[in-house]
Amino acid sequence: MRLLIVGQLEGPLGTAGRIATQRGAKVAHIDSVQGALNALRNGQGADLVMCDVVLDIAQLIDSLKSERITVPVIACGVTNDASAAVRAIRAGAKEYVPLPPDAELIAAVLQAVAEEDSTFIAKDASMQPLLQMVDRVGGSDASILITGESGTGKEVMARYIHRKSRRAAGNFVSVNCAAIPDNLLESELFGHEKGAFTGAVARRIGKFEEANGGTLLLDEISEMDIRLQAKLLRAIQEREIDRVGGTQPIKIDIRLIATSNRDLEEEVKAKRFREDLYFRLNVVNLHLPPLRQRIADIVALATYFANKYAKANGLPEKVISSASSAALQAHHWRGNVRELENTMHRAILLSQTPQIEPESIMLSGQGFAPAVSPAELVVKAASGINSNGGLVGRTVADVERDLIIDTLSHCLGNRTHAANILGISIRTLRNKLKQYGDEGVPVPGGNEERAVS
């Protein structure tokens, strides 16, 4: 865990840094927002930034977004001004940590970030050959191609491989090739010199250089423009890169992992992916099965997510009832582990009993679920799966409205965070909130637009 602390290190902020160091974090300190931005541009990677609330957190987060530097920001401060904390959260800070720091709270924040990135749960028999393969190849520098449907946990698997490798002490750097426009992805990967193109306000170290000595993950590589694939192939073959606008090649030492939710052999046949690059990447292929084929993992993952979001929301941990477990295992899970995570987050917020019962589990796409026999329906009815508890007599629209408003209140009006929790797009959330406002329903945070990440 690499922690970058931004602010004056004297006093409580310095204490927070010492606590983090004692808990195993690698801590760096910079006293200004601009200094932090320069450090991150120049390849000083961080898994978490902790910024003093007296600094311009909005500027920091906006600059990170505009320059596509992905790192979570935690606000902290000794001020009793609640509005400062609210402003930081609305600006995009993940959490607010009061100072002087509580050692257990600092530890919990670090653990939450580490777990979010690296927890890998695999109890189903179908996953065991995969894990055995990782144990055999993890210590090598062989390139690995991880394939599977969207949401199956390809990035989590990549982090698991990194932890198993001899490069575990080095950086793990991830680039989502599908999320960055083609004309900017080259700069993101290889870096650029100041003035190399419009908007290049300073020299920027690319992801290849940032990952030097560690692992670079190219997520959804099938989305990369075929013209950029040629430059990527050269970087892999020669183990050197050229910054955009640069004059000298730069040697690199990385382990490369790529992921794709498409069939790359079909992409090669369709001339959308270079065959030579495909063979360079596909030294070892790991195919993650969809969640519907990992039945033994469903309840284990659901329990993990339920505990995670109970803790995140300050709620007591709850066990999943047998009826709910049956409902979860019967679902088709088109969105795989990502859909399950959102489902359990909603369930924790909705549940009003010591156990998570079926009425708290809102499953999507029921029409796509496998057919259930009459005998199974009788068993499920007897076990309470079709029970609706306190929701009987209410319309779906009413329940949906209350869920959206309560979630937005929990997020202090931050629409981006609320949309992520609800598992819907920010556009859908905005439309719903506009509708509620027009109907006279009070909307947390008013009608002002929030920054969309």
Order the strands of the 73-77 sheet from edge to edge: 26-30, 2-6, 48-52, 73-77, 95-98
Q: What is the pLDDT of residue 344?
A: 94
H/E stretch holding 90 reads: helix 82-91
Place 80 in a pLDDT band, splitting at 50, 70 and 90.
Answer: low
Q: Is 192 exposed, middle or buried (0-12, 13-18, 19+ CB in 10 A)?
A: buried
Q: Return the closest-CA partner of residue 17 out of 35, 2, 32.
A: 2
CB 37 within 8 A of CB 62: no
Give dist(CA 446, CA 453) in Å, integer: 19
Asked whether the predicted pLDDT for residue 116 surpasses 80, the reply is: no
For 297-324, what is each residue's pLDDT tens digit?
999 999 999 998 888 788 899 999 999 9
Averaged pLDDT of the chain: 83
Q: Which two tokens stand for residue 246?
A: 């640069």
In this structure, the number of other CB atoms found within 10 A of the CB of residue 417 comes to 21
When mean pLDDT is compared across 62-66, 164-168, 300-304, 376-380, the lowest value belongs to 376-380
Please check whether the two domains, 291-391 and 396-438, share a CATH topology.
no
End-to-end CA distance of the chain: 23
Give dist(CA 125, CA 128) in Å, integer: 5
Give dist(CA 198, CA 143) in Å, integer: 34
Place 112 in a pLDDT band, splitting at 50, 70 and 90.
Answer: low
Q: Is 398 exposed, middle or buried (0-12, 13-18, 19+ CB in 10 A)?
A: exposed
When mean pLDDT is compared across 13-17, 394-398, 449-453, the lowest value belongs to 449-453
Q: What is the pLDDT of residue 34?
A: 92
- The runs of H, that is alpha helices, within 92-217 are 103-118, 128-137, 154-164, 182-190, 207-210
Asked whether the predicted pLDDT for residue 377 surpasses 90, the reply is: no
What's phi and psi for 273, nearest 5 deg? -145, 135
Give dist(CA 112, CA 51) in Å, integer: 17
Place 452 in a pLDDT band, splitting at 50, 70 and 90.
Answer: very low
Place 373 in a pLDDT band, splitting at 50, 70 and 90.
Answer: very low
Residue 5 neighbours by CB under 8 Å, 6+ apart? 13, 16, 17, 20, 27, 28, 29, 30, 49, 50, 51
- Domains in the chain: boundaries: 2-118, 125-287, 291-391, 396-438
Place 111 in a pLDDT band, splitting at 50, 70 and 90.
Answer: low
Please provide the CATH number assigned to the domain covering 291-391.
Answer: 1.10.8.60
Domain 396-438: CATH superfamily, name plus number: Homeodomain-like (1.10.10.60)
Q: Return the closest-CA partner of residue 302 out of 278, 274, 282, 330.
A: 330
When mean pLDDT is compared across 53-67, 151-165, 180-194, 393-407, the lowest value belongs to 393-407
More confident residue, 276 or 311: 276
Q: Which two tokens stand for residue 434?
A: 């506009």
CATH architecture of 125-287: 3-Layer(aba) Sandwich (3.40)
CB 206 within 8 A of CB 189: yes
More confident residue, 106 or 254: 254
For 86-104, what is each residue's pLDDT tens digit?
888 888 888 888 887 777 7
More confident residue, 450 or 268: 268
Q: What percent of the chain stands above pLDDT 70?
A: 88
Compute the average pLDDT of residues 286-299: 94
- The runs of H, that is alpha helices, within 191-291 are 207-210, 226-238, 264-269, 275-281
Asked whether the predicted pLDDT for residue 284 surpasses 90, the reply is: yes
Q: Return the closest-CA partner of residue 54 out of 16, 27, 94, 81.
A: 81
Q: What is the pLDDT of residue 137?
A: 92
For 139-187, what is each residue's pLDDT tens digit?
899 999 999 999 999 999 999 999 889 998 888 889 999 888 887 898 8
Helix, strand, coil share of the chain (percent; to 5): 50, 15, 40
The β-bridge partners of 320 are: 356
Asked whether the predicted pLDDT for residue 412 surpasses 60, the reply is: yes
Domain 2-118: CATH superfamily, name plus number: Response regulator (3.40.50.2300)
Q: Which two tokens stand for residue 229?
A: 């694939």
Q: Is 119 exposed, middle or buried (0-12, 13-18, 19+ CB in 10 A)?
A: middle
Q: What is the pLDDT of residue 91?
A: 86
Asked whether the predicted pLDDT for residue 272 surpasses 90, the reply is: yes
CA dihedral sign, ordered 275, 180, 199, 235: negative
CA 94-344-380 angle, to 5 degrees, is: 175
CB 340 within 8 A of CB 294: no
Place 79 in a pLDDT band, splitting at 50, 70 and 90.
Answer: low
Q: What percent of the chain stands above pLDDT 90?
A: 37
Asked whether the predicted pLDDT for residue 359 surpasses 50, the reply is: yes
The β-bridge partners of 26 are: 2
Q: Is 83 exposed, middle or buried (0-12, 13-18, 19+ CB in 10 A)?
A: exposed
Q: What is the pLDDT of residue 356?
A: 94
DSSP class of 43: T
CB 39 within 8 A of CB 32: no
Compute the average pLDDT of residues 251-272: 94
